[in-house]
Amino acid sequence: MKKYFPFILLLIITACSKPEPQKAVVIGIEDIASLTGDYPEKIQVINFWATWCKPCVDELPAFEKLKATYGDQIDVILISLDDVENLETKVNPFLEKHNIQSQVKLLDYPYAAEYIPMVDTHWMEPFL
Amino acid sequence: MKTLKILTAVAVVALVGILASGILNFGTMTKEDPEIESAINDVQLNEQAPIKKGYEIGDKATDFSLMNIDGKMISLKDYDNAKGFIVIFTCNHCPYSVAYEDRIIALDKEFKEQGYPVIAINPNNPEAYPEDSYDNMKIRAKEKGFTFPYLFDAGQKIYPQYGATKTPHVFLLQKEGTSNIVKYIGAIDDNHKDANAIKNDYLRDAVTNLIKGQEIKMTKTVAIGCSIKS
């Protein structure tokens, strides 16, 4: 029995280190300001999405691949625009189902016209 | 150096769109990677020359003949007594559109009598979103008791002419002779989630200004919603 102990230990460690899917952290507009205002050492890839947005969901694998490939060099941050009421009923179950490994935040702030220019003024250009 | 870092960060954020569309097959990321370089150059080109489509304020909006949920064809020229139109591209499937349904009904009730009826147009391709099919439009209009026409942009010919990109996306028109001139483009208001917590009531203010013969302060706002799918 004793000689199997290291293997069992290894098994436990392996099982524990299996990456868990992310849970969404609720943020407000002040967090957008700090995310986009202070440039960190690492490059940040910020993607806005929502569980109900089909094209956004379709592109998530590309962001996950980016995270898997360059995760040690860059931060991939997925900002959900789902309603905060759906955090436990839709967003977190979605993250679990799709085993999302990138950081996920849920922006609980409805005034998009205020945070859009904080992210990138080019976001508005096609409409203005 | 910090500027360089900022530029790189911005470029990478923009790059992701391109990566997502299928160039994600390069090996390890190095600064010399020619594929990355060329992609960054493409991005910069795009940023320098944004493609302009659709109407600007003051443009003449096209009329159309689109099928309403009752099977009848509707054109703007049919409305002899209208002073203008609140044209709203909207749909069934988008949560933003759904969030605005009651407000669109209220706008129609408020302004139809004053000469500015709501004309709602579903611009989506039902093959991309089955929820936006003509049959489902009829169902939703009945459920919600739409007081305005809800037209189907069959073949998606009209929305690109207007330059609608989102649902909901508003084009406020004013009749001048036989023309309909674009007076406001953008969002209904600034809070899709809570009608009681609106800070800027863009569309209502614009229509009110038109009715009173005043200048519209905000003629363009960013439409927030779901992308229209072709």
> What length is written for chain A?
128
Please state the rounded mean pLDDT for residues B115-141: 97
pLDDT tens sequence across A72-126? 999 999 999 999 999 999 999 999 999 999 999 999 999 998 998 888 777 655 4
Q: Which domains does chain B have, with CATH numbers?
A: 2-48 (no CATH), 66-227 (3.40.30.10)
Nearest to B2 among A39, A74, A122 (CB): A39
A71 at B interface, C-beta within 8 A: no
Higher per-residue pLDDT: A116 or B194: B194
Residue A1 Cα, gap to closest chain B Cα (Å): 44
DSSP structural state of residue A115 = H
pLDDT tens sequence across B152-162? 999 999 999 99
Distance CA B134, CA A3 (A): 70
With beta carbons under 8 A apart, name residues in chain B contacting A111: 190-191, 199
State the average pLDDT for chain B.
84
Higher per-residue pLDDT: A37 or B187: B187
A30 at B interface, C-beta within 8 A: no
Residue extents of the structural domains in chain A:
21-127
Contact B224 A73 (CB under 8 A): no
pLDDT of residue B38: 41
CATH of segment(s) A21-127 = 3.40.30
- DSSP string covering B19-42, please? IIIIITT--S--TT-HHHHHHHHH
